[in-house]
Structure 1
Amino acid sequence: MKTAPEGVKGYRRLIPSLTALVDFEAVARLSSFTLAAAELGVTQAAVSRQIRFLEDTLGVRLFYRLHRSIQLTSEGEQLYQVISDSMRRIAGTFDRLSMGSLEQEVVLASTAAFSHFRVLPQLSALQKAQPHLRLRLITQMFTADLRHNEVDLAVRYGNGKWGDGTATFLFGEEVFPVCSPAWLAAHQTPATLEELAQLPLIESDATSEGWMGWEGWFQAAGFRAPRLNYVLRCSLYTDAIQAVLLGQGVVLGWRRLVDALLDAGQLVRVTAATVKVQDAYFAVVPHGRSGSPATEHLIEWLRGAPIWTD
C-alpha cells in the first residue's frame, strides 16, 4: 500500500470540510445565506454554521455581514475564485462521464442582437470545426454580475474594465446610418447631416454601456440637431433592424452586427458618414473559472480567427 511522503499533508487534513466549501460556494455565488440554504436543501442556520466553521478554521473573515446583504471580503474573493473554478471542473467531468461522450457544453451570454446577427448565422461553421462543442445561448439585455450566473463566457460591449471577469478584446466598432435598398430607391439620398436628421429615424433602447443612439451619433458626427424625426422606438435592436428591412425608415447600423446584411444587399448605407466609437466588444470569462480549451476555441471563433480542431 502506498503511503504519502513524510511531511506531506493529506487533503483531509488540509481541507477539513468539503461540505463547508460547497456551502461557501453557494452563498458567495448567490450573495445570500437564505437562497443558498434553499438551493442546498438545508436550513439557513446550518449554512451559517458551516461558514462560521470555515472562517474559524482559516482564521479570516470571508463575508461582510451588512444590514440586509452580505459581501465577500478580499480573502473570500480569493477562496471563491478557486472553489468556483474547481467545482465547475468537477461538475463538468461528472457530466461528461455520465453522458458517456466527449461533448463539451459552453454557456455563452450576449445581447439578443449579437447572438442573432453574429453567432447564429455562423453556427454551422462552428459545429463543423468543433463537433464536440455544444453551445447554450443566454440572452442578457443588460450587463449582469457573472458570479451569479451559470455562464462560461460572456460577450460584452464597453471599455473592457469589469470587476467580475477577465476580458479579452474581440474587435472594435463603427456606427453609420443604414436602410433597405427599396427605401433608399424611393427617397432622395440626404446630402447633409441636417437632411439626414429629417428622415424617418428608428431608435433602439440602450442595452449596454456605451450604446449610441441617434442623438449621440449626430453629436459625435459634429452636428447638433434641434429636433430628430423619430417614427419608431424599439426596446430591442433586432426589432429596429427588422423594421428597417421592412422599409420603415433609417436606423443606426453597428458594423459588426450588420456586416452580413450589408454583404447580402439586404441593407445599404444611407450616407458615407460614420462614427468610430471608443468602446469595443470583449469576451469575458468569469472570475473563478479558468478558460477551458472549448472556451478558448469559442473566443477565437468569435474574434474571427481560424478555428482548429483537436
Structure 2
Amino acid sequence: MKTLNNTISVEKLRPLIALFLLCVVLSLLSDKFLTVNNAWNVMRQISVNICISVGMTLIVLTSGIDLSVGSVLALCGAVTAGLLKNGIPIEATNTYVGFTLLGAILAGLVVGGLLGFFNGWVITKFKVPPFVATLAMLTIARGLTMLFTKGFPISGLGKEFAFIGTGWFWGMPIPVWISLIVIIIAFWLTTRTKIGRYIYAIGGNEKAAKLSGINIKKVKITVYVIAGVLAAVGGIMVTSRLDSAQPNAGMSFELDSIAAVVIGGTSLSGGRGAILGTVLGAIIIGVLNNGLVLLNVSPFWQQVVKGFVILLAVIIDKANSKAE
C-alpha cells in the first residue's frame, strides 16, 4: 500500500516537477525570463489556452476529444466582432439591427454553445466517433469563418472591447481574471456536482454508467456545449487583445489544449484526471512557448518541440494505464 501511495504521489507531482525544471533551465538560458513583465505576459497568453483546455478536459474525461475548438474560437470571435462593428443590416426592410458590447459577446457565446451542441448531438445521435465528428466541425467552422469575414480581418472594435483582452483590474490582466473564474467554476463542477460525478463515471465505464441510470446522451451533449462556450470565451479574448478578428485565428489551438490536458495527467481513455492538473499543463505549454520565443528558436522548430512534448505525454499516459 505504501508503494502504491508513493507512486500516486509521484504521478501527481510529475507536472509540477517538470514545470520547475523548465523554469530553472529557461532562467539560466535567458535573463529576460524571470521578470515581472514576462510573467504577466505568459499568464495573459495562457489564459486563452486555459479556457479551451478546461472544456477539453471535460470532454476527454468522458473518453471523447474535440478537434474543432480552434475553428470554433475563430468563428465566435469573428461573429462577436462583426456584430459589434457592423450589426445586422436587413436590406429587404431597409433596417439595421445594432448590437451593444454585451449583446455581441452573448451572441458569440451562443454560437459557441450551438456548435458544441451540434458536436454532441452528432456524436450521441448517430454514434459518430468524436474524432471524426469534431474533425468535420473543424472544417465547417473554419469555412463559416471565412464566409463571415470574406477572408478579411474585422478590426477597429473600440476601446471598451479592447479592455477585455488588454485591460487590468486589481493588479491583474482581465484575461487572467476570466481564466481564474473559469477554473473555479470547472473545479466546482467536477468535484461538487452530480454532473461532475457522471462525467467521471461515463469515462471510467460507460456501460456501467448507463446501467446505473445516468443519461449518457444528455451528459455528453452538455460537456460539448460547455467546451463550445469556453472556446467562444477564448475567441473573444483573442479578438479583443488583437483588436481584430482574424479569419485564421485559432490555428493549432486544439493541439495546445490537448497537450495541456495530457501533460496535466488526464487520461485519454477517460475517467481519470483533474482541472487543476490541466491548468498546470497549460502553464507548462505557455512557459515552453514563451521560453522558445525568448531564445529566438524558429517557429518551425517550436512546432517540432511541442509535437515531441505531446508524444512524450501520451507515452507516459499509456504507461501509467498499463501499470494500473
* TM norm structure 1: 0.22
Higher relative contact order (CA 8 A, sep 6+): 2
Comparing both structures, which one devotes a greater share of its residues to helix? 2
